[in-house]
């Protein structure tokens, strides 16, 4: 029942934050940027200002699908951001370029997160296999309770660590973005406030994910190891 409560509570919280984020971006997307720069132009300008010339700015399908890919050094912006000339597009494009700057300067938290990606992916697959096997009859498959517990807690610890490491990476990218748009006079005072507010709600999605992961990990630790003498 506690696991169901975690899923329900954080599911609702995630839904609320996601809707708030979408409403903020929708609101700020309707207000034209006085500098009249598109997200693509802002991204290219920020990259150039940081002496980064080997990163390509692409347009990708979807809504809020914006991301930086360190594997092929690309800043990928959704159409609304790529072509948008408003505070919301400014915030997102500069934030993704913040990740490119992190990559170029060997930001330690980004390096750690990148190193954890394959481990996190493997942990997720292992966790799914073990949970399915236990539901089908773990004892019949030769899995004892202690072994299941160590595997589940170990795998979920890695996944939780990944969500926690993601937090400083995302907050730092936003701080870099906001500092740059302000110093470069890309935005007015009111536009700066809108950009900051939009990025705050974007960051909240990662905070909710980290808290949900921590709560779930605590549940698994209690279930497998909390009732021992």
Stretch among 35-39, 57-61, 172-176, 220-224 having the lowest mean pLDDT: 220-224
In this predicted structure, what is the pLDDT of residue 143? Answer: 62
- CA dist 89 and 35 (Å) reads 12
- CA dist 127 and 77 (Å) reads 32
Residues 66-119 pLDDT 10s: 999 999 999 999 999 999 999 999 999 999 999 999 999 999 999 999 999 999
Tell me: pLDDT of 40 over 90.
Answer: yes
In this predicted structure, what is the pLDDT of residue 227? Answer: 62
DSSP class of residue 149 equals: H
Would you please indicate which residues are annotated as catalytic (active-site) residues?
96
Number of neighbours of residue 13 by Cβ within 10 angstroms: 15
In this predicted structure, what is the pLDDT of residue 130? Answer: 82
8 Å CB contact between 25 and 64: yes
Mean pLDDT over each residue of the chain, to the nearest integer? 91
Residues 110-134 pLDDT 10s: 999 999 999 999 999 998 888 777 7
* Residue in this structure with the two tokens 């748009």, named with its chain if needed: 181
With 0-12 CB in 10 A as exposed, 13-18 as middle and 19+ as buried, what is 14?
middle
In this predicted structure, what is the pLDDT of residue 228? Answer: 59
Q: Which of 143, 33, 137, 51 is nearest to 93 (CA)?
A: 33
* Residue in this structure with the two tokens 């899923």, named with its chain if needed: 7
Helix 108-135 to helix 87-104 angle, to the nearest 10 degrees?
A: 100
8 Å CB contact between 40 and 57: yes
Q: Which of 60, 53, 64 is nearest to 26 (CA)?
A: 64
Number of neighbours of residue 157 by Cβ within 10 angstroms: 15
DSSP secondary structure, 97-146, as one string: HHHHHHHHTT-HHHHHHHHHHHHHHHHHHHHHHHHHHHHTTTTTTT--HH
Tell me: pLDDT of 224 over 70.
Answer: yes
CA 123 to chain centroid, in Å, comes to 18
Tell me: pLDDT of 142 over 70.
Answer: no
Decide: pTM greater than 0.85.
Answer: yes
Residues 9-30 pLDDT 10s: 888 988 999 899 999 999 999 9
When pLDDT is cut at 50, 70 and 90, the band that residue 5 belongs to is: confident
Sheet with 56-59, edge to edge strand ranges: 56-59, 74-77, 67-69
* Residue 31 three-state SS: coil
């Amino acid at each position: 029942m506690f696991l169901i409560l975690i899923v329900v509570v954080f599911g609702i919280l995630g839904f609320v934050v996601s809707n708030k984020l979408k409403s903020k971006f929708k609101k700020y997307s309707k207000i034209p940027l006085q500098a009249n720069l598109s997200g693509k132009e802002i991204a290219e300008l920020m990259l150039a200002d940081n002496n980064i010339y080997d990163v390509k700015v692409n347009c990708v399908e979807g809504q809020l699908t914006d991301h930086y890919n360190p594997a092929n050094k690309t800043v990928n912006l959704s159409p609304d951001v790529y072509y948008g000339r408003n505070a919301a597009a400014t915030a997102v494009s500069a934030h993704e370029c913040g990740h490119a700057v992190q990559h170029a300067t060997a930001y330690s938290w980004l390096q750690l997160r990148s190193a954890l990606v394959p481990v996190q992916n493997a942990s997720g697959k292992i966790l799914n296999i073990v949970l399915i096997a236990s539901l089908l009859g773990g004892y019949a498959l030769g899995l004892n309770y202690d072994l299941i517990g160590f595997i589940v807690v170990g795998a979920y610890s890695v996944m939780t660590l990944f969500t926690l490491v993601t937090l400083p990476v995302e907050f730092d990218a936003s701080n870099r973005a906001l500092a740059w748009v302000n110093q470069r006079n890309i935005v007015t005072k009111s536009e700066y406030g809108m950009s900051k507010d939009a990025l705050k709600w974007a960051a909240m999605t990662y905070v909710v994910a980290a808290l949900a992961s921590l709560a779930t990990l605590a549940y698994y630790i209690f279930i497998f190891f909390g009732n021992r003498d």
